[in-house]
Amino acid sequence: MFNEKQLDRMLQQARAEAEQLGVAVNIAIVDAGAHLLAFYRMQGALLGSVDIAQRKAKTAVLFPLPTEALGELVRQEQLQSLELSNSGLILFAGGEPIRLQGQLMGGVGVSGASAEQDKQIARAAIAALSGQD
Amino acid sequence: MFNEKQLDRMLQQARAEAEQLGVAVNIAIVDAGAHLLAFYRMQGALLGSVDIAQRKAKTAVLFPLPTEALGELVRQEQLQSLELSNSGLILFAGGEPIRLQGQLMGGVGVSGASAEQDKQIARAAIAALSGQD
Amino acid sequence: MFNEKQLDRMLQQARAEAEQLGVAVNIAIVDAGAHLLAFYRMQGALLGSVDIAQRKAKTAVLFPLPTEALGELVRQEQLQSLELSNSGLILFAGGEPIRLQGQLMGGVGVSGASAEQDKQIARAAIAALSGQD
Amino acid sequence: MFNEKQLDRMLQQARAEAEQLGVAVNIAIVDAGAHLLAFYRMQGALLGSVDIAQRKAKTAVLFPLPTEALGELVRQEQLQSLELSNSGLILFAGGEPIRLQGQLMGGVGVSGASAEQDKQIARAAIAALSGQD
């Protein structure tokens, strides 16, 4: 489980990255059980993305891949309908599993900008963990 | 929030437009938080469309675009599974965001006729607001 | 099934009754299959009552009694948990079955004022049907 | 809608109050449409309270009273089953509506400590808004 310093750092870094990109997003962080740890809606972020950010974080823990990689796998392996499981998954970019020393610790989901920007912001959040306790 | 005169006018205009087209539809109007403000099922309107009209109105507030424009975006950007978010969105024509002086006030969703007719009826409802408080 | 004149008359009468009482309520009318026919949120009506009005109307069709009479029955017969069925029923006043010539035609649910006022408004809606087609 | 400074201040103040009480809680803040704005799980907070904090915040917007006051109303007026509406409400202390200059802006819900402590933390969050934009 993340400690509060780690959680704060991830949220701060995600918000800073979004501001630098000039976008307003929703940011969700879940634990290794896919339960919500933290959520933040930046001012002006899309209302419909409140739910998507949380689903992306959940998806990235349940199937510990970047969400767009899971989407690609679903297309390649013709796993249509997999996204209906678990009360609804999201299969495009913006959800990332979080690993520390090889262990799955949780997931982060970002939604509100383009899928590529969402992904960049999610990765910035995770990068905030490295080299630190 | 719309006042009752505005709400009545939108409903009346939608019904009048549908009658002129010779179709029976379900009409839903939601507020800026996507909560139901008014609903009307015209006599003979499809039962399955009761739910669709409400989802269209909700979709048009959560992602403030005409619903078919959101559908086009989902195809272009390969955002498959987005429609599973928010308890289910609708990605074809008939849902329209309602803006007054540039501010998102709510959404209207129409279902029961062809998607193009649904859209025409939704737009008639919104047109009933212009030039009037 | 009600025709549109009947539906309009019920909505108008409910709104008129609420205005006379000086309250703002949510009004829902459902058909004999408990599917939504019409809904209206008066300006300033409680947001949490949007859902309750619809549940009251549904409850009054599924168990065709005034909702508070069903509540009394549940207490007398110790039918605890019945309210969990059908995705959630409401067991206090404000939902009324609608009968025409002895036949169950639908239900009306009102919420936002006191339960007694809600009930009075629901009954006013139904009274609007009598002596008319 | 709160700006980010207001949101940050509420979260910080709630966390500071909880630390002073020596408890770990979940904190949820929603907007006037009952949609999530921010969420924070303090280290060691109860997993089952993740959901309760969010429901408390939602309840306090849908029925704009402190949640325990709504619970008292439900008992006094025998509104049993009201808690089943709106996908599930919470009727004990820890949810508070947030008003600025008399206008309902949203709600805060806290869960994880005793109900009285949860309430004290929620009120501390709201107090962080006063005298500031």
D14-65 pLDDT, tens per residue? 999 999 999 999 999 999 999 999 999 999 999 999 999 999 999 999 999 9
The two beta strands, B36-41 and A95-100, are unpaired
- pLDDT recorded at residue A131: 57
Q: Distance of CA B7 to CAs B39, B108, B129, C25, Å?
A: 10, 11, 9, 15
pLDDT tens digit sequence for C120-133: 999 999 999 985 54
pLDDT band, very low/low/confident/very high, at B133 (cuts 50, 70, 90): very low
pLDDT digits (tens, 9 = 90+) for A3-57: 999 999 999 999 999 999 999 999 999 999 999 999 999 999 999 999 999 999 9
Report the percentage of chain A scoring pLDDT > 90. 95
Which CATH number does B4-127 carry? 3.30.450.150
First to last CA, chain A: 12
Nearest CA in chain B to D106: B33
Specify whether the CB–CB gap between C17 and C110 falls below 8 A. no
Residue pair B127/B4 in contact by the 8 Å Cβ criterion: no
What's the confidence (pLDDT) of residue C45?
Answer: 98
What's the pLDDT score for residue D132?
52
Q: Do residue C39 and residue B38 have CB atoms under 8 angstroms apart?
A: yes
Residue of D nearest to A37 (CA): D41
What's A48's DSSP letter?
A: T
Residue of chain B whose Cα is closest to the Cα of A88: B84
- For C52, the 3-state DSSP assignment is helix
Calpha distance A118→A68 (Å, rounded): 11
Mean pLDDT over all residues of chain B?
96
AA identity, residue D93: A
Q: Which residues contact D6 (CB under 8 A, 6 or more apart)?
A: D129, D132, D133
The letter for the amino acid at D96 is E
Task: Please check whether residue D5 touches B, CB under 8 A.
Answer: no
Rounded distance between C-alpha atoms, residue C31 and residue D68, angstroms: 36
In 3-state terms, what secondary structure has residue A21?
Answer: helix
Please report the pLDDT score of residue A133 as a whole number. Answer: 47
User: Per-residue b/e over B70-102, b at no fewer than 16 CB within 10 Å?
Assistant: bbeebeeeebbbbbbbbeebbbbbbbbbbeeee
Gap between the Cα atoms of D60 and D96, Å rounded: 5
| Interval B61-79 mean pLDDT | 97
Contact A23, A113 (CB under 8 A): yes
pLDDT digit string (tens) for D92-120? 999 999 999 999 999 999 999 999 999 99
Chain D partners within 8 Å of A16 (Cβ):
none
Which of the four pLDDT bands, split at 50, 70 and 90, describes residue C104? very high
Q: Tokens for C115, please give them.
A: 């339960």
For chain C, the domains span 4-127
DSSP labels for chain D? ---HHHHHHHHHHHHHHHHHHT---EEEEEETTS-EEEEEEPTT--TTHHHHHHHHHHHHHHS-S-HHHHHHHHHHTT-TTGGGSTT----SSSEEEEEETTEEEEEEEEESS-HHHHHHHHHHHHHTTTT--
Whole-number pLDDT of residue C131: 57
Q: Kindly state whether B62 is in contact with chain A, defined as any CB-CB distance less than 8 angstroms.
A: yes
**Closest by Cα among B38, A42, A27 to D6:** A42
Residue type, A90: I
Do D39 and D54 touch, CB atoms closer than 8 A?
yes
Distance to chain D for C6, nearest Cα, Å: 28
What is the percent of chain D where pLDDT is above 70? 98
DSSP B56: H
Question: How many Å apart are CA A17 and CA A127, to the nearest integer?
Answer: 11
**A18/A25 Cα distance (integer angstroms):** 7
The pLDDT value recorded for residue D133 is 46
With a CB cutoff of 8 Å and minimum separation 6, the contacts of B105 are: B1, B2, B31, B32, B98, B99
pLDDT mean over C66-75: 97
Which of C98, C130, C101 is closest to C29 using CA atoms?
C98
Q: Is the pLDDT of residue A66 over 50?
A: yes
Which tens digits make up the pLDDT trace of B23-43?
Answer: 999 999 999 999 999 999 999
Q: Residue C73: is its pLDDT beyond 90? A: yes
pLDDT grade for D130, boundaries at 50, 70 and 90: confident
pLDDT band at D1 (very low <50, low <70, confident <90, very high): confident
Q: Does D36 contact A50 at a Cβ distance shorter than 8 Å?
A: yes
CA distance B22 to chain D (A): 36
Tell which residue, C104, C96, C103, C102, has the closest CA to residue C127: C96
Place of tokens 């540039």: B102
DSSP B46: -
Give the percent of chain B with pLDDT over 70.
98
Q: Residue D109 pairs with which residues in a beta bridge? A: D28, D95
Asked if D39 has any chain A CB less than 8 Å from its own CB, the reply is: yes
Q: Report how far Cα B40 is from the mean position of its chain's Cα atoms.
A: 12
Tens of pLDDT, residues C21-63? 999 999 999 999 999 999 999 999 999 999 999 999 999 999 9
Distance (Å) from the alpha carbon of D33 to chain B's nearest alpha carbon: 5
Gap between the Cα atoms of C14 and C35, Å rounded:
19
Contact criterion met (CB below 8 Å) for B82 and B89:
yes
State the pLDDT confidence band at B130, using cuts at 50, 70 and 90. Answer: confident
One-letter identity of residue B37: L
For residue C32, give the DSSP letter.
Answer: T
Nearest Cα neighbor of A27 from A131, A126, A102 is A126
